[in-house]
Structure 1
Amino acid sequence: MSAAPVFPPLMTGRAAEAEDPFLLACEEAESDGDPGLLVWRVTSETLSAALVLVPESLLEPAMAGFIACAVGLQNALGALAPPETAVHLDWSGGIILNGAEAGRLRVAAPSRDPAEEPDWLVVGFDLALSLPPGAEPGESPGRTALDQEGCGGLDPLRLLEAWSRHTLLWLNALDDAEGRADLHREWQGLAWKLGETVAVTVAGLQEAGRFLGADENFGMLIETGGTTRLIRLSALIEEV
């Protein structure tokens, strides 16, 4: 696909040159950029994109936008990748292809204060299309790329378009309780290592325990020594 990608009417695409789409989207959001701005960049190795959201709720409920973007990406990959490709989502943002990490989602906001209604939220991702030059398959256990998982023929711009469409559907679903419940069920079926012992690093600290699931705002419920604790999803926010 050589033409510029086509996005839904509520989204405005902008190609980044040498800049990081995530940081550029954050700069635009901070300077009152339009909601729905989608900044993207494709290199020989990576597809990167970021979407500006303007929530109308307090921070913790607004973090469902991060999950909507993550599930939208999984749905897009599921639709375009070979049917045998397994795509899961790590709670902290990892994009898991056939059991190995092929990329990550990120989220930024002006503050992590759960009592505030954020002026904006930016959700982005970096997805490995191919291994770096000279890298050998299996050299970095637990890491992979699309071309290593039988997805080398996937057009990154077509994937970007599919992400925008699937994500918009899930963002629209957040307007009511039933839609949020649908997103919760969809995400739970995709959550990596649900029910298993996991280790997650948030705010520089590592938490370990059995991953029980998520609360209504997609915070991680983790059990250690018979005690269940909640890690808020907003703990993943990068303040930029």
Structure 2
Amino acid sequence: MNTVHLPPLFTAMLTAGADPFEAACTAARQGCDAGLVTYDISADRLRAAIVFAPEIALTHAMVMQPICGIGFQNALGTLAPPEVSVHLEWGGALRVNGAKCGTLKTAAHPADPAQVPNWLVVGLDLTLWADTQDTGLTPDVTSLYAEGCSDVPAGDLLEAWVRHTLSWINRWDEDGVQPVHSEWTGLAHGISDNVTVNGLTGTFRGIDETFGLLLQPDGPAQIIPLTHTLKDVS
């Protein structure tokens, strides 16, 4: 699919084999407008990224990552068979029917949590098909088409991802973070599980108002800010 149809204020740019996340970060550094969507679709992979221009400190602007996760879940929910489930990991991983199928990653500049970033980019990397096994990769890793979604066109999924992400951005803008918090928590993978984050192991107790991870090791709970998941693209 060479062209995609996006909502007003979004502009599509095909990266033709190049990494859309890196392309979006480069375009953002060069001063592109917010709403640029870079993408590359191959037979086995869908990669895309959206450029944002937040007007709030990065700590709060990181809400774009969970919003993009919710947008993906909503998008696939409209296109996939009803039995297909999507769950979201705090660090950005996307799970389809319980197994990892892709990831979201975020970069921003400057990366100081207290500053308003000049730009923020959220990237999507989704495995459509893996030819190592007909039914997936390992019990914990899968591909979209191995999970009964072979009739979902990647281009349609990309368009739906942007539309549903925009819908949630509008809801966040109008109603605040609480609806996003509630929706994401309902889709979260791993709450109450034992996890290791930034070298700390403990129980994943949930998220705070800025989507920091509440981790309870042997002692008082600690908050790991979502900004700790930022990718270094300097």
Specify the TM-score bucket, using the shorter chain as the normaliser: over 0.9
Count, aligned residues: 233
Correspondence 1:89-104 to 2 at 5 A: 89-104=88-103
Distance 1:114 1:138 in 2: 38
TM-score normalised by L of structure 1: 0.93
Give structure 1 regions of 4+ aligned residues with deviation exceeding 4 angstroms: none
Q: How far off its partner does 1:104 sit? A: 0.5
Q: For structure 2, which runs of at least 5 residues remain unmatched after alignment?
A: none
Question: Does the 8 Å contact 1:111/1:239 carry over to 2?
Answer: no
| 1:199 partnered with 2:199 | no
Q: For structure 1, which runs of at least 5 residues remain unmatched after alignment?
A: none
The Cα RMSD (Å) is 1.4
1:151 paired residue number: 149
TM-score normalised by L of structure 2: 0.95
1:188/1:46 Cα in 2 relative to 1: closer, same or farther (>3 Å)?
same
Q: How far off its partner does 1:120 sit? A: 0.4
1:228 pairs, out of 192, 207, 221, with 221
Correspondence 1:53-64 to 2 at 5 A: 53-64=52-63
Summarize deviations over 1:149-168 as a string: whole Å, max 9, x none.
00111101111111011000
Summarize deviations over 1:103-154 as a string: whole Å, max 9, x none.
01010012331121100000011101100x4445455331100111001111
Q: How far off its partner does 1:3 sit? A: 6.6
Q: Percent identity among equivalent residues?
A: 42
1:191/1:139 Cα in 2 relative to 1: closer, same or farther (>3 Å)?
closer
Distance 2:128 2:137 in 1: 16
- Residue 150 of structure 2 aligns to which amino acid in structure 1? G
Summarize deviations over 1:189-232 as a string: whole Å, max 9, x none.
000011222223xxxx3332111111111111111113100000
- Residue 53 of structure 1 aligns to which amino acid in structure 2? F
2:18 paired residue number: 19
- Residue 215 of structure 1 aligns to which amino acid in structure 2? D
2:38 paired residue number: 39
- Residue 220 of structure 1 aligns to which amino acid in structure 2? L
Summarize deviations over 1:79-102 as a string: whole Å, max 9, x none.
111111110000001000111000
